[in-house]
Amino acid sequence: MTLVDIAKVTRVAYAEAFRKVTGRRLVQLPRMAGRTEPEVFFDALALNGVSLRDAAESERLLAPFGAELATSLAARRDLLTTQGQLLPGAIAGLTDVIQSVLTGSSRPNATLKVRAFGLDRYLDLAVGGFAGSDPYPKGALLRVARQRAEERYGVRFAEAATVYIADAPRDVEAARIGGAKSVAVASGRASTAELRDAGADAVLPDLTDPSLLTALVTGEG
């Protein structure tokens, strides 16, 4: 809900993967905004009455579920653009700015989504953070992504030069933990007031003002 809205396709793919791995129908999908794929999966187990002996058993289901979810989404690649949409003003190239993604999705799923809409040409996915694949919470993952960029480009990136653009209060918190400036956009489930209360450095109703967004990213706004 920052770059794209593919909620309808994601729900169907999620339900299919959940049924294949657990043998149970997905009746209730947990709240997903700002959360990682593992977090959502563990909540889905509890909400849908999947009785497991211990935490280790639920951990063992995570990898098969991740693989099934990737397969289910890939099978619906063409539906991402017909049943989903690219959000207005979502992305563009910026001079002297390295753009990537920090997401709760796994690397295969995130890559599939941005490529479906042609966004990958603006992004260096090699330095991205994928909480569905990387063993870090988003705040720590932001620091990891910054380190990856430093190693790849041979440049030191100060925390003040890192900007996280996202749509959930939890992402605002992740930016704070990761030492980044947060630009919150109310294109998701959270209102401008909720994002402001979460402590965002800047709050936008959407990403359709390129001059303002560029100024916030480059430190001129």
Q: Please report the pLDDT score of residue 57 as a whole number.
A: 78
Mean pLDDT of the residues in the chain: 93
pTM score of the predicted model? 0.91
Which residue carries 């509890």 as its tokens?
46
DSSP conformational letter for 50: -
What is 85-218's CATH number, 3.40.50.1000, 3.90.226.10, 3.40.50.720, 3.40.50.12780?
3.40.50.1000
In whole angstroms, what is the distance from residue 81 CA to residue 110 CA?
14
Which token pair is 68? Answer: 């099934």
pLDDT, tens digit, 9 for 90 and up, residues 53-76: 766 777 889 999 999 999 999 999
Whether the Cβ atoms of residue 191 and residue 172 lie closer than 8 Å to each other: no
Could you tell me where the DSSP H helices lie in 48-137? Answer: 55-75, 77-83, 107-116
Q: How confident is the model at residue 221 (pLDDT cuts 50, 70, 90)?
A: low
In whole angstroms, what is the distance from residue 202 CA to residue 183 CA?
5
pLDDT, tens digit, 9 for 90 and up, residues 77-131: 999 999 999 998 867 778 889 999 999 999 999 999 999 999 999 999 999 999 9
Which sequence spans correspond to the domains of the chain?
A: 4-82, 85-218
